[in-house]
Amino acid sequence: MSGFGARLAASVEARGALCVGIDPHPGLLDAWGLPRDAAGLERFALTCVEALAGEVAVLKPQSAFFEAHGSRGVAVLERVIAEGRAAGALVLVDAKRGDIGSTMAAYADAFLAEGSPLAGDAVTLSPYLGFGSLEPALAMAEATGRGVFVLALTSNPEGARVQRAEAGGRSVAQSVADAAAERNAGAVPLGPVGLVVGATLAETGLDLAALNGAILAPGVGAQGAGPADLARLFGGAGLVLPTSSRDVIKHGPDAAAIRSAALRLRDELAG
């Protein structure tokens, strides 16, 4: 495969800048009239793939909602990854893994190694055991042409106490951004290390000019963020991937309605 940054840039160029999350929340299964079991999960997730994988740049299945159903749920996640990629979407597995040593290496094998059924095009990671602890995943991503999105500054109220804390004259979140930029230096058109920065934040305080990677910006749509917020927070920061989940998939179980909602949102964001 070509590098993740090149594939992402090409996908956004062809399909527009939108990432849609596949979040089989129990409440959404109820709203779709589906049972809260592995069969309902499968119907939900594969309908989302049918509706979206041929249209949007990136699909983001939330691993936790699949894992909650045990081995049958993980098997559905494997199908979502395979079928989403086969239909042309990039698949970002939202697993938020972060550990040390051999355990981090095992997570890298699971979500980034060639041939793993859980390996999409990228995975989300947590750097809060130290950015250096992510090395096995960073190395695997580079070796296999995949990407990672590292949590930097999230919108949950609990995050600020850690992420905005200062050490050595800069915030923890800025140190994560700087480490990602260092890893991406020299890559064309983009490096494999993206950041997760919430689109609903009042401000970021981050200098992202040197990142040379993508920014995943969750919170678009139902959570309140729109085009003006993206421009205010990320203007000039490079490739920004607005992300919406329930605001799009709430329109199921009709695949055509889900697709229409995603395309409307994509066009709105493009201005």
Catalytic center residues: 96
**Shortest CA distance to 140 belongs to which of 102, 111, 169?**
111
Token pair, residue 145, equals 């042409």
Phi and psi at residue 256, to the nearest 5°: -65, -35
The DSSP-derived string for 122-190 is: EEEE--TT-GGGGHHHHHHHHHHT-EEEEEEE-SSTTTHHHHT-EETTEEHHHHHHHHHHHHHTT-SS-
Single-letter amino acid code for the residue at 221: G
Q: Any idea what DSSP says for residue 125? A: E
| Residues contacting residue 150 through CB under 8 Å, at least 6 positions apart | 124, 125, 126, 127, 131, 134, 176, 180, 193, 194, 195, 196
SS3 215: strand
| Residues contacting residue 107 through CB under 8 Å, at least 6 positions apart | 95, 97, 99, 136, 137
